[in-house]
Amino acid sequence: MEVNADDFFKAAALDKPRVTNKVGSNVTLINVMQIPGLNTLGISIARIDYAPLGQNPPHTHPRATEILTVLEGTLYVGFVTSNQPAPNRNKFLSKVLNKGDVFVFPVGLIHFQFNPNPHKPAVAIAALSSQNPGAITIANAVFGSDPQISDDVLAKAFQVEKNTIDWLQAQFWENNHN
């Protein structure tokens, strides 16, 4: 089978600001589904747009580490370490990033980015160490799954009343990654 340049290429993939969603972000991921030549090569790339005060909400990538750099604006970013002996148990590590700063989110850890500027959008480029990194938006997966997770389970896990869980599950959980 003859290969050609189109197998390794995606035009106009990451150039334009995209309309942001309800929480104020839009992730455009270019992975092996868009570029078949990425198969077995262990990498993908994304552009992320942030509205003023928008966020890419707490999420994980089950199969990839992410390295991010800011192209425009300012981002407040962070991740939480896993359950482990002190002093690193559930530690929240955060930074305010300006243009050109680089930050790393290790594989599988919960992380987010937030644009603290009330007036200006922000833009970042993120690279991920998998041809198909996956994304799990925490609130959506926990409260917006189909079918819903039992409210008995979630009420106890989150230390709230069942009707709080029911209320959360009744919200609209818009997809914000693919």
User: Which amino acid, residue 89?
Assistant: R
Cβ proximity of 70 and 102 under 8 Å: no
Residue with tokens 């200006």: 120
Backbone dihedral angles phi then psi of residue 50, each to the nearest 5 degrees: -130, 125
Given the DSSP bridges, would you call strands 122-128 and 44-50 parallel, antiparallel or unpaired? antiparallel
Q: Which is nearer to a second copy, 11 or 19 (CB)?
A: 11
The answer to whether the annotation marks 59 as part of a ligand binding site is yes
Tokens of 176: 């914000």
Beta carbon of residue 38, minimum distance to a second copy (angstroms, whole number): 6
Show contacts with a second copy in window 158-177 (CB under 8 A).
158-160, 164, 168, 171, 173, 175-177
- Which positions from 23 through 82 interact with a second copy, judged by CB under 8 A? 23-24, 30, 34-35, 37-38, 41-45, 47, 55, 57-58, 60-67, 69, 71, 76, 78-82
Q: Give the span between the Cα atoms of 99 and 123, in whole angstroms.
A: 9
Give least dist CB 166 to a second copy, A.
Answer: 13
Task: Tell which one of 48, 51, 154, 165 touches a second copy (CB under 8 A).
Answer: 154
Q: Which residues define the annotated binding site for Mn(2+)?
A: 59, 61, 66, 111
